[in-house]
Amino acid sequence: MRLRWMTSMVVATAIAAASCGAPPAPMVAVPESASPLRSPPRQQHVQAPARETPTDVYAHDRPGMLSPRVKNLTPRVYVPNSESNTVDVINPRTFRVVHRYRVGALPQHVVPSWDLKTLWVNENKGNRLTPINPVTGRPGKPVPVDDPYNLYFTPDGSYALVMAERNNRLDFRDPHTMRLIRSLDLPCRGVNHGDFTADGSVFLASCEFSGQLVAIDWRRHRVKKVISVRAGNMPQDVKLSPDGRRFYVADMMAGGVWIINATTFRQVGFLRTGKGAHGLYVSRDSRLLYVSNRGEGTVSVVSFARRKVVERWRIPGGGSPDMGGVSADGKQLWLSGRYHGVVYVFSTETGKLLHKIKVGQGPHGLCFYPQPGRYSLGHTGVFR
């Protein structure tokens, strides 16, 4: 079954489910008052314009809604190769690697800054962040930062949040210079992914090595609640549902996604998706959640309205789909092949694997850039 069922589906309310030089010269910004651009109408199965709902946290992520700051950028895909200590840059139009840069030890993710001006390479063992100027696609002077497995930004842009995974710590830093402001020790092990509530007040983070989630009041720099998803499980990516009512949390040991109430922070369900459930990505029309199942070489497609897996895409011959993102037009899903040294490109309209691109060893959190949205909350592209 392909995604044609979406054209006739009744849209219900959506629910839920690793620094001190300066960065490169900033881009020249176009005035923010400019109206966002929209792609011309086109026929397709999945990415048809979504019906308006009272709340949709991804309403500014539609195809063509590029910020004036990035609308003239040349699209590129940035792939951090954790085992090769390099970043490959892919032209998404030709599907060819056009540049390769050497970076520090164990690059994990490429993360867009809150103001959309810089891409940060998280060098976990290298203990630094390397800035990439998205205008030129070239890296700048690295910034020393302790244990940057992953990187997020508060919704108001006031802090960069470094997920110091091995140190079990969340570091609050200046979002431009990455100067340390304060650290928050966490009562869990292996913090690595997260997302914010719809009002932006709470950051829900996953702790992979202790099977826990932590709800953090980032303004007060304190932990509100610790949620266990059972010993032995390994929660990964976190994504808020479009209506803001629930979080989806991928768990690669449980083989699916936990559903967490975004108000009470209690478990309210579990949805089995596949072995090694890892990355979570929302379709450009806010109707679907793409779940990469790294342990079985598949991508599960979850309907927010139907609360179920409605499609499963398979990589011919198997694979290890990990982290990535949806293309700016919503027509493709790009994922790193963690254990196969490749990048996978899927059609979101047919579910077929379109391309398999050879890159370095251990590709991880790739970033398709630019993407629609007013500002970045971090990771490989969580935009609002």
Tell me how many degrees the CA angle 202-218-32 measures, rounded to the nearest 5: 80
Complete DSSP assignment for 36-103: PP-PPP---SS-SPPPP-S--TTTT-STT-B-TTTTTSPPEEEEEETTTTEEEEEETTTTEEEEEEE-
The pLDDT tens digits along the chain (384 residues) read 433 333 333 333 333 333 333 333 333 333 333 333 333 333 344 444 444 446 899 999 999 999 999 999 999 999 999 999 999 999 999 999 999 999 999 999 999 999 999 999 999 999 999 999 999 999 999 999 999 999 999 999 999 999 999 999 999 999 999 999 999 999 999 999 999 999 999 999 999 999 999 999 999 999 999 999 988 999 999 999 999 999 999 999 999 999 999 999 999 999 999 999 999 999 999 999 999 999 999 999 999 999 899 999 999 999 999 999 999 999 999 999 999 999 999 999 999 999 999 999 999 999 999 999 999 999 999 999
Q: Is 315 helix (H, G, I), strand (E, B) or coil?
A: coil
SS3 content of the chain, % helix, strand, coil (to 5): 0, 45, 55
Tell me how many degrees the CA angle 25-172-223 measures, rounded to the nearest 5: 155
Give the predicted TM-score (pTM) of the model.
0.86
